[in-house]
Amino acid sequence: MAQNQLRLALAQLNPVVGDVAGNEAKARQARAEAARLGADLVMFPELFLAGYPAEDLVLKPAFQDVCRDACERLARETADGGPGLLIGLPWRDEGEVYNAYALLDGGTITVRFKVDLPNYGVFDEKRIFAPGPLPGPVNFRGIRLGIPVCEDIWTGDVVECLAETGAEMLLVPNGSPYWRGKTEERFNIAAARVTESGLPLVYLNAVGGQDELVFDGASFALNADCALVAQLPANAEAVALTVWTKGEEGWTCGTAPMEVIEEGDEADYAACVLGLRDYVEKNRFPGVVLGLSGGIDSAICAAMAVDALGPERVHCVMLPYRYTSGESLKDAEDCARALGVRYDTLPIAAAVDGFEELLAPLFAGRPRDITEENLQSRARGTILMSISNKFGSMVVTTGNKSEMSVGYATLYGDMNGGFNPIKDLYKMEVYRLSALRNHWKPDGALGPDGVVIPQNILAKAPTAELRENQTDQDSLPPYDVLDDILRGLVEEELRVSDIVARGHDLETVKKVERLLYLAEYKRRQSAPGVKVTRKNFGRDRRYPIVNRFRDQGEVASTPDRALMRANGVPKVGSIDM
């Protein structure tokens, strides 16, 4: 290669956590593709050989050994004079384990370690890794490459050190999970480092689902003037060639792909589909089964499942009881027909009546209440899990974030299942994404074009249909009100008084806050689901189940606060439960 040109291949790929042999084979295939493209060097995402995040698996010495062996095999293969490799793995050295990124070239290995270990939100890297020292660049065939790893560019120290020690460009491997607005956030951080250092930057991200997280790819490159010069697709694998040339002003990219990526609601929907697809595929389920009720939540979950897996791998089951309306029966059938899935109807009256008869001696003299309503949900959950056990399909759970927030769900009933693609979508977002899907679908989706969620499902009032003439709003505020209150409580961690100041009724906000805390024990037992917002239930938000704090929405004046501090008296909520 000429020292004034670098042909860099970006391997935006989807590893499987723990499948080191499979990830090694994928790296080998990508190197062969990069060689075909004429690349000098091929770059992989953060911790590619292990998969990301491998969590406590990284602490197992046997796992560390397997990753190191794979790296050494790949390194030996680079003695053939073909493309070098930049690849990530856990690396044990003198009793410490590091998040490492290795340059493999000419049969040798040069390693640098991640410095800034994220320990917030979904990240727990300080639990796993030791921080590396501030690095200098690595030398690749006469070019000095700065390699800040993921979080290393979110503050300026590592990039500053690389620039001061002679780096000519910045190559940044990432395992950066999706949440709404993340694309712009990444770009702004990268642009800040480019501006400070005067160096061009390549931001390479992983793609694929891993438990709750979705890595959306969308890798990009910036010239030293912050111009966007490369953009890889979102939510899809790619091995793409970028051609860099060194002139008087440094390195610039002249040849690279420039894809258009989804944003906003389209990005959210695509992330939900990718997360569901990879959870099913990587866990080797043959398909999925879900209850199709005629409501909006199960309809969009069915659409996402078909988009992820194809209609032949999706089984929808209507489980009617005496409170199931003819309208719901028709809507569910119409939705199943539009999606082209297998659709069965299994009435649950015999199961519910059997439970009631069995419990009658214990319940004698007590009025009917929510207990009997929940028997319907639990009968449905048992039937779906039985279908799953018999045929191997995973049950898709269909509760939205609004319901999961306030406990409007039944343990061992509609909460049964293996994975929930809409767990992090509020109810009004479910409606919006359902309407979107009726005139758009993401690239690579396997479902049909056109209307797949009947208009009547979008138009009618939501109901659990567990009693006569029931609607969700019998128990909950209108969903537009509820969702805004919940965003304030969950994503923004606002005081009750701050949410009231946005125009909400104090007693309504206090009621929602109380329900949010009381439902914590249910959420601990809920299926994992795709992270879409900045703060999801699960890895992001960790609240105690035993918790008597309640924010009463009272705001003391500044002098009162000062007096309380002086007297050592904290301002706390009441302890009702």
Is residue 332 included in any domain, yes or no? yes
Reduced to 3 states (helix: H, G, I; strand: E, B; else coil), residue 123 is coil
- The answer to whether residue 384 scores a pLDDT higher than 70 is yes
Question: Does 275 lie in the same domain as 208?
Answer: no
Question: Does 289 lie in the same domain as 257?
Answer: no
Is residue 557 included in any domain, yes or no? no
Is residue 230 included in any domain, yes or no? yes
Domain ends where: 227, 261, 295? Answer: 261
- How many whole angstroms separate alpha carbon 242 and alpha carbon 254? 8
Q: Domain of 312: which CATH number?
A: 3.40.50.620
Contact 263, 299 (CB under 8 A): no
- The answer to whether residue 72 scores a pLDDT higher than 50 is yes
Is residue 529 included in any domain, yes or no? no
Could you give the strand order of the β-sheet that contains 314-318, starting from the edge strand earlier in sequence?
Answer: 342-345, 314-318, 288-291, 394-395
pLDDT for residue 496: 92
Question: Does 328 lie in the same domain as 229?
Answer: no
pLDDT for residue 577: 28
Centre a 10 Å sphere on the Cβ of residue 522 and count the other Cβ atoms it contains.
Answer: 18
Burial of 56 (0-12, 13-18, 19+ CB in 10 A): exposed
pLDDT for residue 554: 65
Least confident of 116-125, 129-138, 352-361: 116-125
- Please list the residues that pair with 90 across neighbouring strands: 99
Question: Does 291 lie in the same domain as 196?
Answer: no
Contact 185, 154 (CB under 8 A): no
561 vs 295, higher pLDDT: 295
Q: What's the chain's average pLDDT? A: 90
Q: Mean pLDDT, to the nearest integer, of 154-164?
A: 92
Q: Mean pLDDT, to the nearest integer, of 416-430?
A: 95
Is residue 550 included in any domain, yes or no? no
Q: Which of 24, 46, 262, 465 is catalytic?
A: 46
Domain ends where: 498, 523, 548? Answer: 523
Which residue is associated with the tokens 């491998």?
54
Of the chain, the percentage scoring pLDDT greater than 70 comes to: 93
Residue 53, domain extent: 5-261
Report which secondary-structure segment, H or E, holds 564.
helix 558-567
Q: Mean pLDDT, to the nearest integer, of 268-278?
A: 97
Question: Does 233 lie in the same domain as 149?
Answer: yes
Q: Domain of 187: which CATH number?
A: 3.60.110.10
Catalytic, 125? Answer no
Question: Does 274 lie in the same domain as 256?
Answer: no
Least confident of 342-351, 470-479, 524-533, 565-574: 565-574
Q: Which of 26, 114, 427, 510 is catalytic?
A: 114
Q: Give residue 294's identity as a one-letter amino acid code.
A: G
Q: What is the DSSP string of 520-536?
A: HHHHTTSPPB---SSS-
Question: Does 289 lie in the same domain as 243?
Answer: no
Is residue 516 included in any domain, yes or no? yes
The beta strands (E) that lie in 367-456 are given as 394-395
Domain ends where: 474, 492, 523? Answer: 523
Catalytic, 301? Answer no
**What is the domain count for the chain?**
2
pLDDT band at 570 (very low <50, low <70, confident <90, very high): very low
Q: What are phi and psi of 219, to 5 degrees?
A: -65, 155
pTM, entire model:
0.90
Is residue 229 included in any domain, yes or no? yes
- The answer to whether residue 2 scores a pLDDT higher than 70 is no
Question: Does 252 lie in the same domain as 119?
Answer: yes
Is residue 549 included in any domain, yes or no? no
Question: Does 285 lie in the same domain as 145?
Answer: no
Question: Does 298 lie in the same domain as 375?
Answer: yes
pLDDT band at 576 (very low <50, low <70, confident <90, very high): very low
Question: Does 254 lie in the same domain as 160?
Answer: yes
Which residue is associated with the tokens 């509020």?
426
pLDDT for residue 323: 86
Contact 126, 96 (CB under 8 A): no
Reported as a single tens digit per residue, the pLDDT across 169-220 is 999 999 999 999 999 999 999 999 999 999 999 999 999 999 999 999 999 9
pLDDT for residue 324: 85
Using alpha carbons, select from 96, 151, 147, 155 the residue that is nearest to residue 118: 151
Question: Does 99 lie in the same domain as 191?
Answer: yes
Catalytic, 253? Answer no
pLDDT band at 257 (very low <50, low <70, confident <90, very high): very high
- The answer to whether residue 256 scores a pLDDT higher than 80 is yes
In total, the chain counts a number of residues equal to: 577
Q: Which of 150, 161, 253, 316 is catalytic?
A: 150
